[in-house]
Amino acid sequence: MLREHVSLKSMNTFGVEAEARWYAEVASPAELSSLLADDRVADPAPLVLGGGSNLLLTRDVDRLVLRYVDDHLRVIAPGRDSHLIEVGAGMNWHAFVAWSLANGYVGLENLALIPGTVGAAPIQNIGAYGVEIERFVNAVEVFDRERRCTTLFKHDFCDFAYRWSRFKRDEDRDRYIVVNVRFRLPRRGELQLDYPGLRDELAAMGIDTPGARDVFDAVCRLRRRKLPDPALIGNAGSFFKNPIVSGDVARALLANHPAAPNFDAGPGRRKLGAAWLIDQCGLKGYRDGDAGVSAQHALVLVNHGRASGADLWRVARHVQATVRARFGIDLEPEPVVI
């Protein structure tokens, strides 16, 4: 049902006040097609809202805000070593990870406790603790606003890269709405344990030979300890991407700061730790009114109570300017900023 002038405060994990001019929830491509045929909301493109955990609203949204709520899950092609599984875009991501482990699949355990929905996962190419979701995406089914029909895009067409997919391109961002994601999940596979801190956490748990469930538990422990809970203080998780720079830029930084975290990012490129850069600028715990940088993790912006989205964006811009002035490196926001 199409509703008018709806508060979005409870639908974004920053907990900022904002209002949608129009709001609707749909559970099928047919419902979506019917909704978008309504002249009141046909243009401009709707803002598709998942869990509201990768979003900063700095103002009211003068268009349709849409939630695709279908959360079905079914095995569509069982195999000997892996299964093809279709999941509705509205399913909670962490619930899907937990389901996969409970049903004997491996691979998603490093991605535990990432907030949001399955539909958002391929758009952002979510990743954590050394694993990115593109490794398991077989195909993404979308509703094409221009053609008014669904289309199935295979993995290679999605153009995955670090926190990137073709669905974030300017020409495609408003055209496609994710309705289903198909995952190829293995029954067995090598665990990914090399991300800093993960083996140490498993050792602290007294586990010498971990299984997938142990990795899941370790990741949950790490995330709960390191990242503030949005239920207790408004935040959207990591606000800045780890910057990818040329080898020359990385070498210049490491010459003065040998301990700076850095990782291979392909030929001639290195990925730097955004949290380290922010921390080195003395911004961990920075506060401007009720908007600030978490004292728990330098990558996380937080709403201490009554911050507006504009207040949080002002803090984000301050962090960017400070890191640029100190290191000559630009930080790019990870969430969508309206």
CATH number for the domain harbouring residue 166:
3.30.465.10
Range of the domain at 328: 234-337
Read off the pLDDT of residues 240-279 as tens digits, 9 standing for 90 and up.
999 999 999 999 999 999 999 999 999 999 999 999 999 9
Confirm whether 311 is domain-assigned.
Answer: yes
Among residues 100, 238, 294, 308, the one annotated as catalytic is: 238
* pLDDT for the residue 80: 86
- Whether 190 is catalytic: no
- Whether 334 is catalytic: yes
Cis status of the peptide bond prior to 267, with omega within 30 of 0? no
Dist. CA 6–CA 9, nearest whole Å: 9
Same domain? For 249 and 328 the reply is yes
Confirm whether 90 is domain-assigned.
Answer: yes
Mean pLDDT of 18-39: 97
* pLDDT for the residue 1: 85
* pLDDT for the residue 14: 98
Q: In degrees to the nearest 10, what's the CA dihedral of 325, 327, 329, 331? A: -70
Tokens representing 156?
A: 């290679």
Same domain? For 142 and 88 the reply is yes
Instruction: Residue 22: give its domain's CATH number.
Output: 3.30.43.10
Q: Return the percentage of the chain with pLDDT > 90, whole number.
A: 96
Decide if pLDDT at 305 tops 90: yes
Mean pLDDT of 198-216: 97
Decide if pLDDT at 42 tops 90: no
Among residues 132, 134, 201, 334, the one annotated as catalytic is: 334
Read off the pLDDT of residues 128-149 as tens digits, 9 standing for 90 and up.
999 999 999 999 999 999 999 9
pLDDT band, very low/low/confident/very high, at 174 (cuts 50, 70, 90) = very high
Q: Cα–Cα distances in Å, from 328 out to 162, 272, 276, 298, 317?
A: 21, 13, 14, 18, 15
pLDDT band, very low/low/confident/very high, at 333 (cuts 50, 70, 90) = very high
Mean pLDDT of 70-83: 94
Same domain? For 302 and 333 the reply is yes
Q: Which one of 155, 186, 217 terminates a domain?
A: 186
Cα atoms found within 13 Å of the Cα of residue 86, Cβ hemisphere only: 12
Instruction: Residue 269: give its domain's CATH number.
Output: 3.90.78.10
- Whether 28 is catalytic: no
Decide if pLDDT at 27 tops 90: yes
Among residues 67, 82, 100, 163, the one annotated as catalytic is: 163
